[in-house]
Amino acid sequence: MEMVAEATQTNGQLNDAWIPSACSLCYGTCSILAHRLDGVLVKIEGNPESAVGKGRLCGKGVSGLMTHYDPHRVRVPLRRTNPIKGIGIDPGWKEISWDAALDEIAERLRKLREDDPRKLFIQRTTTVTSSRTPIQVFAAAFGTPNRSSAGGGLHCGNGAHLISGIMHASWSVVPDFQYCNYAVYFGASKGHSAGHASCSNMGLAADARARGMKMVVVDPMCNFAAAKATEWVPIRVGTDAALALAMCNVTVNELGIYDAPYLQAKTNAPYLIGPDKSYVRDPESRKPLVWDRVVRKAQPYDAAKPQEMALEGKFEVNGVPCEPSFQLLKEHLKTFTPEWAERITTIPAKNIRRLGSEFAREARVGSTIVIDGITLPYRPVAAIAFRGSQGHMNSVYDFLAVDLLNHLVGSADMVGGCLGFNPACHGHPDTGRPHFIPKAGPDGLMITGIWMAHHNPYPIREPRMPEQVGLQDLFVLCQTSPFSDSSDHEELWDKFHLPYRPEILLNYGTNLLMSIGNKETVAKSLAKFKFIISFDLFLTESSDFADIVLPDCDYLESLDSRPNFPFIFNLPGGMGEWCWPIKQPTVNPDGQQRRCSDILVELADRIGMREDLNAAFNAILKLEGPFRLERERRYSYEEVCDAELKTNFGPDRGLEWFRKHGVIKWPKKPGEVYWRHCVDVRVPIYWEFLPAIREKIAAIAEPRGVKIPQEYYEPLPDWIPCSSHVENTPGYDLFAFYYRDIIHTNSFTMENPWLDEAARLDPYSYTIAINAETGRKKGLKEGEEIWVETEKGRRVKGRLHLTEAIHPEGLGIGACAGHWGDGMPVAKGKGVFFNDLLEVDFDHVSPVNLKGLCRALGRRNARRQGKGRFFQRSLRG
């Protein structure tokens, strides 16, 4: 174990130190100062020197001490003795040495790699951002394409990431709080103590509201975001796309408000579309054509001046009738009248019309503003979405419909508008690193400058017979996938002739049994692995399926050179500062815990893949010059971190410098934050590539009996009802949904006594929320225990909370709670295990991005139990 950080501020006592590092109670990864007194951590605060949190820290962050000093942490390596695996089956743990553990693991991995490296499946939690790089590196070096995040990504915003990537070159979107005057949130919590850049956004959002920004929150539940909103718009679960499309219609067709210069220069709105829904292309260059209004003929998109491109009209090019994609969009939107949307969303048409009108008028289309001497378009409106509105089968269209609002009024990545998180960076003034800027790709559409993984969202990959267990190489618009654990995975793998089966699972911190779907389905898939290695802080429900559990260091004992990089993830957007903090050990572990990053380096050596590992580090960290790792030399993870920091910030700013200073920062420039105005790239308001992608997927899938529905792959967004919207089994009359409780992170923090106490005091965290009037009609009483059952017969129980703060048809369950294992005794029995209601199979995911079998959409209905009652008041066994 390396030396922990020296004191940075003292009050005269030798062992009194405030150590700059990074939080890991959620993936916001805010910068912290850990107060260590005589070797004991006594307090954690936000680090005011960092732009990541700006000195603020949420309740989760300050309570990290209680997780760190939890007596139930795993402190020694454990080997199971019971070969039988299942829920509730005692693994028969016995303590073993690290050497014995690593010997066995290395031998198994070495043989597996010789046989077929794809048989290794690697899973990691997103909560600890610092696990991303070591695990990406290890996977690349080992040679497996099978890596996933957070239990199949079910806490993840798959749809949000895909569309944020294609439309904003970023992982997620946020209002430009400093300048935004009108923000509409569709199931997003940016600025309300959760998610990306959470603490920074809290302050920015609060300041914006104080300044007068109107915040409209569209949500089935008036909780964290809506409670702070200017206006809460209760919506029927899973119908956000209908509202957004109707608002688009109001904007474009009823008011005639849109930003023509933006659409002409920054989108594919002028591209001509033929009867086959495809671009009409130049016969020679194959570039999409636009209609040039001055010369009155079609030109390749890069040959005409944007202001001369037609957005409307009907034309004929080389005998082919065609229209600009904006013309098609405009016509398409006419279908979505506010009256139509009212029937779907339950929001009165007059309110939809008002919301659309407010958004369009507040956009101030045509206005400009000067920032740091640069004149930029000023569009102070933002429509944002995240997991809440798109955790279902229609997630792609849903997010796209919301984002269209921004593109129609030209507010995407403009001042005051909807910003991607930091997609363009010119680098530190001394080194020019890190440097990334979106660029134009095929058909002039945008390629991200940087991405969280290495499969850029655009250009779209070519669908192929899958070799990934998640089938991502067939369903090329998806990121993480549930198919490693689904009930139909064997059937799918057979259909697609997957040439191998996963045999070893390397798990980092994920509680798969709780984070994917119903536990029986996931348990079956876990039990099929021949060997499971799990890095854990606690013995979770999923650890019980492991063969070897390795005691991990927690974030206060760990090192990472890039906890907040790439900047598109959890660095605050908008003007301000670029900021690169590190995470560093503040204390040594009190048991035999070792850091996963160190163990992976050691394992690579034992397996005999040191060269591969160094090559992967060089590639992923972009190490250059003298800091590039030599092929055959063994490096510690500490040395790797040092090399990355020196590559980016110069030889004098290595790990030693960062240990002392904690963070480096430099000012953002308007050309970086509002890059879209400055960079010649376009984004697709018309997803011309979708039908072709569908055809290619269908050509592989449909002969094998997997139907790929056309309606999800049309170029323009639509509202498609989920099965729960058309479910008519009597008694199933509520839409159940999950939401992220801001007190908790996934299934991890229920074990933290302070957070558990806060959650028990909170009327929502551990309860099932139903509209008070709805509950009264059903004869339900506050506080009674009830069962919730789906039409498939899956059931969970919990304590009822009746509230006015939820849509009359909604049933809200917070957090990923309901632990049943003994390894987390504080968490055990707390809250409701929503995921147990969820099917995990192809029929319950988006056929586009494989998202949506759970959370936030009422794919599951609650129904009465027993004759004449909607809920049984007594518990069932």
Interface residues toward other proteins, by CB under 8 A: 27, 113, 117-118, 122, 126, 129, 132, 136, 139-150, 153, 155-158, 161, 171, 447, 451-456, 459, 461-462, 464, 468, 470, 472, 478-481, 569, 611-612, 615-616, 618-620, 622, 624, 628, 631
Residues 6+ apart with CB under 8 A from 718: 241, 245, 397, 711
Nearer to other proteins, 18 or 421 (CB): 421
Residues 6+ apart with CB under 8 A from 512: 123, 151, 152, 485, 522, 526, 542
The least distance separating other proteins from the CB of residue 44, rounded to whole angstroms, comes to 23
Contact 633, 552 (CB under 8 A): no
Nearer to other proteins, 226 or 621 (CB): 621
Q: Which residues of 638-654 are buried (b: 16+ CB within 10 A; e: fewer)?
A: bbbbbbbbbbbbeeebb
Nearer to other proteins, 461 or 869 (CB): 461
Nearer to other proteins, 142 or 834 (CB): 142
Largest CA distance in the chain: 85
The least distance separating other proteins from the CB of residue 158, rounded to whole angstroms, comes to 7
Nearer to other proteins, 158 or 389 (CB): 158
Three-state SS at 671: helix
Nearer to other proteins, 117 or 410 (CB): 117
Q: How far is CA 504 from the centre of its chain?
A: 26
Nearer to other proteins, 308 or 695 (CB): 695
The least distance separating other proteins from the CB of residue 865, rounded to whole angstroms, comes to 35
Backbone φ, ψ for residue 445 (5° rounding): -85, 155
- What is the gyration radius of the CA atoms in the chain, in angstroms? 26
Nearer to other proteins, 200 or 239 (CB): 200
Q: Cα separation of 634 and 95, whole Å?
A: 29
The least distance separating other proteins from the CB of residue 150, rounded to whole angstroms, comes to 5
Nearer to other proteins, 141 or 655 (CB): 141
The least distance separating other proteins from the CB of residue 456, rounded to whole angstroms, comes to 4
The least distance separating other proteins from the CB of residue 570, rounded to whole angstroms, comes to 9
The least distance separating other proteins from the CB of residue 600, rounded to whole angstroms, comes to 14
Q: How far is CA 389 from the centre of its chain?
A: 13
Q: Cα separation of 650 and 648, whole Å?
A: 6
Nearer to other proteins, 133 or 487 (CB): 133
Amino acid at 147: R
Residues 6+ apart with CB under 8 A from 709: 847
Three-state SS at 862: strand
The least distance separating other proteins from the CB of residue 470, rounded to whole angstroms, comes to 7
The least distance separating other proteins from the CB of residue 466, rounded to whole angstroms, comes to 12
Q: Cα separation of 287 and 272, whole Å?
A: 11
Nearer to other proteins, 117 or 852 (CB): 117
Q: Cα separation of 337 and 317, whole Å?
A: 32
Asked if the peptide bond before residue 566 counts as cis, ω within 30 degrees of 0, the response is yes
> Encoding tokens for residue 267?
């989108």
Q: Cα separation of 479 and 496, whole Å?
A: 19
Nearer to other proteins, 129 or 648 (CB): 129
Q: Cα separation of 400 and 712, whole Å?
A: 12
The least distance separating other proteins from the CB of residue 631, rounded to whole angstroms, comes to 8
Nearer to other proteins, 72 or 501 (CB): 501
The least distance separating other proteins from the CB of residue 741, rounded to whole angstroms, comes to 18
The least distance separating other proteins from the CB of residue 210, rounded to whole angstroms, comes to 30
Nearer to other proteins, 80 or 132 (CB): 132
Q: Which residue's structure tokens are 């090019």?
A: 317
DSSP bridge partners of 399: none
Nearer to other proteins, 137 or 309 (CB): 137
The least distance separating other proteins from the CB of residue 614, rounded to whole angstroms, comes to 9
76 Ramachandran zone, left/alpha/beta (phi>0; psi -120 to 50):
beta
For the residues of 539-605, what is the DSSP string, one character each? Answer: --TTGGG-SEEEEBP-GGG--BS-TT-SHHHHS--SSSEEEEE-B--SS--SSS-B-HHHHHHHHHH
Alpha helices in 212-324 (DSSP H): 240-249, 260-266
The least distance separating other proteins from the CB of residue 634, rounded to whole angstroms, comes to 16
The least distance separating other proteins from the CB of residue 628, rounded to whole angstroms, comes to 6
Asked if the peptide bond before residue 429 counts as cis, ω within 30 degrees of 0, the response is no
For the residues of 595-647, what is the DSSP string, one character each? Answer: -HHHHHHHHHHHHT-HHHHHHHHHHHHT--GGGSPPSS----HHHHHHHHHHH
